[in-house]
Amino acid sequence: MLHVSDLSVSFRRYSGLFRQVEQPCLTGVSFRLRPGEVLAVIGSSGAGKSILAHAILGLLPANAVLRGHVRLGGRATLLPQSTAHLDPLASAGRQIGRAADRAGRRPAVAPALAEVGLAAGVAPLRPHELSTGMARRVMLAAALAQKAGLIVADEPTAGLDPHHRDVILDRLRTEAERGAAVLLITHDLSPALARADRVAVMEKGALAAVEPARAFMGAGDGLSPTAQRLWRALPENGFLADA
């Protein structure tokens, strides 16, 4: 479904009046994501997670320089990080319908809302009338309405309480069980582990490790050094600092 091979991204910027230089942001990232799998991409802010998501979907700005290869095996959709991606003038129902239309699907707004735990009465509401949790679930419903084989979810639970976070993560897990490939970008490791099959650890624009999610559940002995640092930072492991 998704094959990323030696992907590097840099951005051109001016140094002085006429000289351009490249600022590297991603370096040599390679991985595969199969249908039915959730791959959680973990890393601190600035590690390159969101740039990776936008590079995969071809959403980089004009000054970006991309090297390497990204191969998609079907339709892909983005579940964006910011609720500002919602059209402020369009109702929730209209935005879900538009998403389905773009994918050549027949809009079914009420069932789409129900699948993310929202009542049909949410359909006529505009973004300013929605709570953060409702807005994020409307964006999820719009993404799922496209029936894409690959879902790239960029920090889809940012700012949510545990209940609404779990609603969204559980729904993404369900989509994987229905055959979609899910790339889950997050900085919140504990809830991601409960839904992911594998965990990719990003550090300073590079892929430091890819580990089975179950490897984080035990003593962490078989993890790479970078992944072990994350394991030690989990609440259930006492937020242990590096020695």
Query: pLDDT (tens digit, 9 = 90+) per residue, 106-119?
Result: 778 999 999 999 99
Number of residues assigned to the chain: 243
Q: How far apart are CA 21 and CA 188, in angstroms?
A: 34
Nearest CA to 93 out of 79, 103, 107 is that of 107
> Is the whole-model pTM more than 0.75?
yes
Predicted local distance difference test score (pLDDT) of residue 229:
73
Q: How far apart are CA 187 and CA 173, in angstroms?
A: 17
Taking the C-alpha atoms of 168, 170, 183 and 201 in order, what is their torsion angle to the nearest 10 degrees? Answer: 100
* Residue 236: per-residue pLDDT: 64
Which one has a higher pLDDT value, 123 or 187?
123
Ordered by start, the domain boundaries in the chain are: 86-146
> Tell me: the pLDDT tens digits for 28-66?
999 999 999 999 998 888 889 999 999 999 999 999 999
pLDDT tens-digit readout, 134-189: 999 999 999 999 999 999 999 999 888 999 999 999 999 999 999 999 999 998 88
Q: Looking at 26-40, 47-61, 82-96, 209-223, which range is the least confident one?
A: 209-223
Phi, psi angles (nearest 5°) of residue 125: -80, 145
